[in-house]
Amino acid sequence: MVNGLIILFGLTMLYLSTTSRLIAHVKIVMIQGILLFLICAMGFSHMPLVAITFLTVETLIVKAILIPLFLNKVVKKTHSNRDTDANIAHFYCLLISSLILFGGFMISVVDIPSLSMINPICFGIALSTIIISLWLITIKHKILSNVIEFITMENGIFLLSLSVAKEMPMLVNIGVLLDVFIAIYILGLFVSEINTELGDMEVTHLSDLKDCDND
């Protein structure tokens, strides 16, 4: 069951690569948060109650509820509905993302004795998620799209951490959670300010920004 949820998590990246609707991107972030919660709930039920409670707050409350609500608010405020100017057509985005995800599946079936403690399917899907997110960041034009792909990359890193350790230290969990809060808060303010100043959300407009000459 847990492996099925992990595979479903990977498939969300395929949908993310084929749609230009930013609201759909936000929904993918919410779905990934729910899937991470279920993966933690089913695969780490042996953990202490305090750790389970923290993981529940981190995945279900923060990743599945608070962050999507914040992103949805930014989308409505900036009136950025779609990112239609990607450098690659949706079909090729889907094809390349599928190949990356397939590569993750192939990694999961490789038998490496020194990595016997790693959950192979979890490791492969997490690695694919990180690579797909980084690749989408390079081809998307909307700043908000880049923010969302950054969040999916962080979700992939979270999944990767679950694959290499049965129990995550509380300090690591707190560090990850604080990173998410700070990154989303700063990037959200950044997106809002860019939209206010430039009236558009194209990444190419960032090249127009420069320091003012006070001489």
Please give the residue that has the higher pLDDT: either 6 or 110.
Answer: 6
Report whether 52 contacts 45 (CB < 8 A): yes
**Is the confidence at residue 8, as pLDDT, over 90?**
yes
Report whether 160 contacts 127 (CB < 8 A): yes
pTM, two decimal places: 0.79
Q: What is the pLDDT of residues 118-148, one digit of tens each?
A: 778 888 899 999 999 999 888 887 777 888 8
Please give the residue that has the higher pLDDT: either 78 or 70.
Answer: 70
To 10 degrees, what angle do helices 120-139 and 143-164 make?
160
pLDDT confidence of residue 180: 66
Q: What's the mean pLDDT when you consider all of the chain?
A: 77
**Is the confidence at residue 171, as pLDDT, over 60?**
no
Confidence grade of residue 196 (pLDDT, cut at 50, 70, 90): low
Tokens describing residue 77:
């405020």
DSSP characters over the chain: -HHHHHHHHHHHHHHHHH--BHHHHHHHHHHHHHHHHHHHHHH-TTS-HHHHHHHHIIIIIIIIIIHHHHHHHHHHHHT--B----SS-HHHHHHHHHHHHHHHHHHHT---GGGTTS-HHHHHHHHHHHHHHHHHHHH--BHHHHHHHHHHHHHHHHHHHHHH-SS--HHHHHHHHHHHHHHHHHHHHHHHHHHHHHSS-BGGGGGG-------
pLDDT confidence of residue 172: 55
**Is the confidence at residue 197, as pLDDT, over 90?**
no
